[in-house]
């Protein structure tokens, strides 16, 4: 009730801000880190915005697959934006601080957009399954209404998951230290700093994390298993090759993203070594959102055509070259 929240507030007043120690504490490495992450961040935001623009402008791309791809690009751009700009500012200003409220907000949006990414990858795999394995029912199974409902479900579920973790974190008091050995406020490093009982948080992290990570991942694996058997059963060698190359590139992203995220969130806290965790985090927060636009657009002729229209370049793809 009201009394305990007052008590919590007194506890928390001991920590009004956290220190984000970043990827490296060595001053000589800061300019290099700044350059690398600034470059990666700009590529991520530009690449994902270009995809959204291309899909928005080209009426040929107003299909379920590209509808979800545009949303994935939006989620990716936001996902990187919750962590990287703050890190770049900290490097430039030589200040590591982030206010308590800012830290919780960063954690909330990080979890929300990360989970949204996750769910969208699952929905996109399902969309490919329907297109390849149930082509006759595609227009019914992936009607505009179904797409909107699926997207809304993704947003609602990911918001609820993030909110749960944020509210559970807000109950805790931090009185030991306030140095986070990471470049953003993530659940695991924050739990390690708390001097409250974090068992409820650990349970929530494991159960919600399992559902968010393994749910969509199971859907992806199942969808692709069906897709592979369908492809092998029907099409010609060139058709097979094309389908495999598309599936292969999607699966690369999926395994990079899920492999590193599962390592951080589903293994027991005792197995966490700071360095490994930070490297894994770089992969799923910075590298995969940056690679998505390349994988989904460079290997896709429709996207190439749409992008070249934006830039006013006449491509040869129309002549079949």
Q: How many CA atoms lie within 13 A of 187 on its CB side?
A: 30
Which pTM does this prediction carry?
A: 0.85
Write the pLDDT tens digit of every residue in 223-274. 999 988 888 887 677 777 767 766 777 787 788 788 777 777 777 655 556 7
pLDDT above 90 covers what percent of the chain? 37
Measured distance CA(233)–CA(222) in Å, rounded: 17
Residue 282 tokens, joined: 């770089």
Write down the pLDDT at residue 142: 93
Alpha helices in the chain (DSSP H): 2-12, 30-57, 64-93, 100-133, 138-141, 144-171, 187-193, 199-234, 237-265, 274-282, 288-298, 301-310
The label of the residue with tokens 């590591």 reads 96
Stretch 20-26: mean pLDDT: 81
Residue 180 tokens, joined: 């986070």
Measured distance CA(49)–CA(293) in Å, rounded: 9
DSSP annotation of 94: T
The rounded mean pLDDT for the chain is 83
- pLDDT greater than 70 at residue 172: yes
Is 175 in a helix, a strand, or coil? coil
What dihedral do alpha carbons 94, 96, 102, 107 form, nearest 10°?
Answer: 120
Write down the pLDDT at residue 318: 44
Q: What's the distance, CA 321 to chain centroid?
A: 35
Write the pLDDT tens digit of every residue in 205-215. 889 988 888 88
Question: Hey, where are the domains in the chain?
Answer: 17-309
Residue pair 79/113 in contact (Cβ under 8 Å)? The answer is yes
Q: What's the distance, CA 266 to chain centroid?
A: 16
Residue pair 224/131 in contact (Cβ under 8 Å)? The answer is no
- pLDDT greater than 50 at residue 305: yes
Residue pair 232/240 in contact (Cβ under 8 Å)? The answer is yes
Backbone angles phi, psi at 181, to 5 degrees: -80, 70
Confidence of residue 293 (pLDDT cuts 50, 70, 90): confident
Is the CATH number of domain 17-309 1.20.1070.10? Answer: yes
Write down the pLDDT at residue 176: 63
Nearest Cα neighbor of 303 from 249, 251, 255, 228 is 249
Measured distance CA(178)–CA(17) in Å, rounded: 7
Confidence of residue 4 (pLDDT cuts 50, 70, 90): very low
């Amino acid at each position: 009730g009201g009394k305990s929240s007052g008590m919590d507030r007194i506890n928390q007043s001991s920590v009004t801000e956290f220190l984000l120690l970043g990827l490296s504490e060595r001053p000589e490495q800061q300019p290099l880190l700044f350059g690398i992450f600034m470059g990666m961040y700009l590529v991520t935001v530009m690449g994902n915005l270009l995809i959204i623009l291309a899909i928005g402008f080209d009426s040929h791309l107003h299909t379920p697959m590209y509808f979800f791809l545009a949303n994935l690009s939006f989620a990716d751009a936001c996902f990187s934006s919750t962590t990287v700009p703050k890190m770049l500012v900290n490097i430039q200003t030589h200040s590591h601080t982030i206010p308590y409220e800012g830290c919780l907000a960063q954690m909330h949006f990080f979890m929300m957009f990360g989970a949204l990414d996750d769910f969208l990858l699952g929905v996109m795999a399902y969309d490919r399954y329907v297109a390849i394995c149930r082509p006759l029912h595609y227009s019914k199974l992936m009607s505009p209404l179904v797409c909107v409902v699926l997207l809304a479900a993704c947003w609602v579920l990911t918001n609820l998951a993030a909110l749960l973790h944020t509210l559970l974190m807000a109950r805790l008091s931090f009185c030991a230290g306030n140095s986070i050995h990471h470049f953003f406020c993530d659940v695991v490093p924050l739990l390690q700093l708390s001097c409250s009982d974090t068992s409820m948080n650990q349970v929530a992290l494991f159960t919600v994390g399992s559902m968010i990570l393994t749910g969509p991942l199971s859907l992806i694996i199942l969808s692709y298993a069906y897709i592979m058997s369908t492809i092998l059963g029907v099409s010609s060698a060139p058709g097979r090759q094309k389908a495999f190359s598309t599936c292969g590139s999607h699966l690369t992203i999926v395994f990079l993203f899920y492999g590193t995220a599962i390592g951080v969130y589903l293994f027991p806290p005792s197995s966490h070594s700071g360095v490994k965790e930070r490297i894994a985090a770089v992969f799923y927060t910075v590298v995969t959102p940056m690679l998505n636009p390349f994988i989904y657009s460079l290997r896709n002729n429709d996207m190439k055509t749409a992008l070249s229209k934006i830039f006013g370049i006449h491509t040869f793809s129309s002549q079949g070259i």
